[in-house]
Structure 1
């Protein structure tokens, strides 16, 4: 029962973090959102670590750092697909995949499911097809790019859970600290490289065209990096910071749940996070969903619940 409470609470908080990340990614690039969110979450986790909640070890550092690499990829893809939208469709797709990956790992490792678990694995791909199929005119329709990014994000989230599960029992939040440190470092380096490339490309365009205003060209965004650093950090910054703090809280609950329960159970309970994202997207963004998509969403959540029971 305690595992279920921790898992479902964490799922709702994950959903809120993803909603904030998706909104921030509409204002600044998903890569920048991931970098800022990781830094904000790192600060919060360092405060928790300073209170004595964690023991350093080589295993905690190694697995935590590796999870930071997969986490950086997962969150970048997630925020990018949520920015494309619709959140209420792509978020559940990510959740289903993120639940299947750790479950598959467990099965390959010798775990066995009951009948409900195998039925749930059969329902999951059906849910994926239904949420991506929109027959009604005017209904929200996810793009192929958004669907592929959602699937990729889910696979990386599942891998992150597997890596975190390898950490020592007494490591506390140390793996999460390493996760956020590596995540932030990778994303800030990526932001810097993209900014340098965009500036160099802008200078090249100025040199090739004598009719363009050089100052204006240097401040134009490229398709891969929407704005120079000086102008691009302001909009969406507060949302990105809030996203990082909320996500750190959710990850802490995930870690606690894995410690007191099983990875397979926590992975599917955490996969309930679209409930939080869908609720916020419906209330704040008023996204419209076709009836067949509602069926797909219901099947996705049902599959996650059946996996938890299994």
Structure 2
């Protein structure tokens, strides 16, 4: 059961990333971000209230969840921007490398990673380098590709910050951690939209993006349930394979093709993520 739930979570996350990235090619990224985060926020607030989950008793959990949310939404914004201009098959695995950040922070503060985690970190670095080596005949495409890689790397750091900062609050309350993580940045996103005044999507598109937010939230819930029914290391590895769905959808729907060295890089990056999660 745990394996099925973790795989369903990975598929849901990958689908949500692909749909949001696709929408970002037509709709301003802050608008996409606002609708996706807002759609999930409405649902998780309702869940937190209906479940009568107690709020944080420690102020440190409140601020950590809030900071994690700001880090996560910055990461998501960079991620959607990267998906909108770059090759999704390359961007998604690079962004998933954020799982390595807590391990790196642990090493800096004195932790000794396992051999599996250490090998995973090496594989991630090698994979990112290989996956980044895109060749373009057109100078504009090459520049867009470089921007996408930089944005993907920034998003990886932001996602890593989210994982590290929300770990302790989630132990106290998963629903309220998600409420703060999604809600903290909403005023900032709204302010950016108010300043830029971008063209707003149609009602149908807006509802679709809100639905993407609920798919993303559902993936989080599936992982949480899977953790209660199976081994954490197995669930973490399988749940962390969400870029595979994004890569597959990009290949089937967008007909993306990547060179063999990049395929090797993608495989190394994903394998490294799995190793770090397992370690």
- Quote the residue 1:131 is aligned against: 131
Do 1:269 and 1:308's aligned partners in 2 also have CA atoms closer than 8 Å? no
- Quote the residue 1:174 is aligned against: 176
- Quote the residue 1:151 is aligned against: 153
1:67, CA displacement in angstroms?
1.8
How many pairs align? 273
CA 135–185 in structure 1, closer or farther in 2 if over 3 Å, else same = closer
CA deviation profile, 1:267-290 (whole Å, cap 9, x unmatched)? 665442111111211222121121
Do 2:236 and 2:278's aligned partners in 1 also have CA atoms closer than 8 Å? no
- Quote the residue 2:88 is aligned against: 87
TM-score, scaled relative to structure 1: 0.78
Moved over 6 A (4+): 257-267
Of 156-165 and 246-255, deviating more is: 246-255
- Quote the residue 2:40 is aligned against: 41
Q: Distance in 2 between matches of 1:53 and 1:22?
A: 35
Segments of structure 1 that go 5 or more residues without pairing to the other structure are 196-224
Structure whose alpha-carbon radius of gyration is higher: 1
1:18, CA displacement in angstroms?
0.7
CA 78–187 in structure 1, closer or farther in 2 if over 3 Å, else same = same
CA deviation profile, 1:112-140 (whole Å, cap 9, x unmatched)? 333222122111111112112235879x9
1:181, CA displacement in angstroms?
1.4
1:85-234 pair list within 5 angstroms: 85-96=86-97, 98-134=98-134, 143-167=145-169, 169-195=171-197, 225=198, 227=199, 232-234=200-202
Of 244-253 and 66-75, deviating more is: 244-253
Do 1:134 and 1:292's aligned partners in 2 also have CA atoms closer than 8 Å? no
CA RMSD, Structure 1 to Structure 2 (Å): 2.9
Q: Distance in 1 between matches of 2:134 and 2:67?
A: 38
CA 238–168 in structure 1, closer or farther in 2 if over 3 Å, else same = closer
Segments of structure 2 that go 5 or more residues without pairing to the other structure are none
- Quote the residue 2:18 is aligned against: 19
